[in-house]
Amino acid sequence: MHIIAVINQKGGVGKTVTTVNLAAALDEAGHDPLVIDYDPQMNATDWLMGREAEEDDATIFDALASWDGKESDRWPLSKISRSSESVGVPFVPSDSRMAAASFDSVVGRSPVFPQQFRCRVQELRTSQVRTNSNSDASYDFCLVDCPPSLGRSVATALAGADGIIVPIHTDRFSMRGVMQLQDTIKQIRKVHNDGLQILGLLLNNLDLRSNMVNEMREKFEEIYTDILFETFIPWRSKINEVATRGENIMEYEGASDAASFYLDLADEVVERSRTAATAR
Ligand SMILES: Nc1ncnc2c1ncn2[C@@H]1O[C@H](COP(=O)(O)OP(=O)(O)O)[C@@H](O)[C@H]1O
Ligand SMILES: [Mg+2]
């Protein structure tokens, strides 16, 4: 199982759209993805749940805050993942307590901080091995939709992840953002997770009619040759529509060209994850 965090400290760059559409594409390609919503804004949860979350829905926060490594545990990820009627991909919902204040006071209190997510993921791996990989609850890709920050909560996600995908826009500020992010990754590697790899930067939301966007794209290709995905995602109204309406891009009317970008991305993600796993 490959754990992939979708991160960028900026909001509105396409983390949620990438997470959910990539999961739909992986599913379409015959894989078994699981989406984990780590963002207190709960955009992925709204999309996948197809209704407003309710108070008694178990969430990623319950899994993190309750972890104590005991058998009596109520909230392992395998128990709180649920199926998505709208998209057909299993997911773990988020809730507003994943916001910095409550996250720090509850999750940060534990002496094992920030290992909760890592431990939860490890449990999921082990339980899958135990129940054999043909069972329903068997995932080969776990995509974590992170909030727009590089704070503590994202650090816990990175501590448990194998790789990251970074959706970015083609502007100057994004370039600076990538450098900042590379620093954070170095820190995480040093302190919590030396196996963490950058799977790729994903150029998203490109207006290909703009000369400047095309020039910037070439610049990114020059500078980040080794980590940029070959696939890039242009602006498409259908991508915005599936996100707004909470639909599956693979099945959405008139979205076959948008869907094909995510299938290409899925191929690259599978390939790079395999290479990264053998390098570990
Ligand atoms: N390639 C794209 N084409 C059209 N709209 C997009 C595209 N990527 C993202 N969007 C839209 O941009 C907005 C921000 O995307 P989102 O995934 O929510 O960003 P983030 O999770 O990084 O905050 C959403 O309204 C989404 O529908
Ligand atoms: Mg988001």
Q: Give the tens place of pLDDT for each residue, 171-191.
A: 878 888 898 999 999 999 998
| pLDDT value at 71 more than 70 | no
The pLDDT, as a whole number, for residue 233 is 98
**114 preceded by a cis bond (ω within 30 of 0):** yes
Pairing of strands 2-6, 233-234: unpaired
Range of the domain at 126: 2-279
246 lines ligand 1 (CB under 6 A): no
In the beta sheet, which residues pair with residue 163?
A: 4, 197
Average pLDDT of the chain to the nearest whole number: 90
| Gap between the Cα atoms of 13 and 157, Å rounded | 19
Q: Whose CA is nearest to atom 15 of ligand 1?
A: 14
CATH code for the domain in which residue 229 is found: 3.40.50.300
Nearest CA to ligand 1 atom 27: 240
CA 121 to chain centre: 14
Q: What is the DSSP string of 107-143?
A: ITTSTTTT-HHHHHHHHHHHHHHHT-TTSTT--SEEE
What is the arithmetic mean of pLDDT over 219-243? 96
Backbone φ and ψ for 173, nearest 5 degrees, come out as -65, -35
pLDDT above 70 (res 113): no
The structural domain count of the chain equals: 1
148 lines ligand 1 (CB under 6 A): yes
Which residue, 131, 127, 124, is CA-closest to 92? 124
Cα 167 to ligand 1 centre (Å): 10
**Mean per-residue pLDDT for 123-143?**
75
When mean pLDDT is compared across 92-106, 205-219, 222-236, 258-272, the lowest value belongs to: 92-106
Report every protein residue that has its C-beta within 5 angstroms of ion ligand 2: 15-16, 43
pLDDT at position 171, please? 84
Q: Ligand 1: does its nearest atom lie under 6 Å from the Cβ of 144? A: no
Residue with tokens 């940029």: 228
Residue 174 vs residue 211, higher pLDDT: 211
Which ligand does the CA of 40 lie closest to?
2
Ligand 1 in reach of 231 Cβ (< 6 A): no
Give the model's pLDDT for residue 120.
92
Ligand 1 pocket check for 14: Cβ under 6 Å = yes
Query: Which residues make Cβ contacts (< 8 Å) with residue 213, sequence separation at least 6?
Result: 170, 206, 207
Whether the per-residue pLDDT at 136 is higher than 60: the answer is: no
The model's pTM is: 0.95
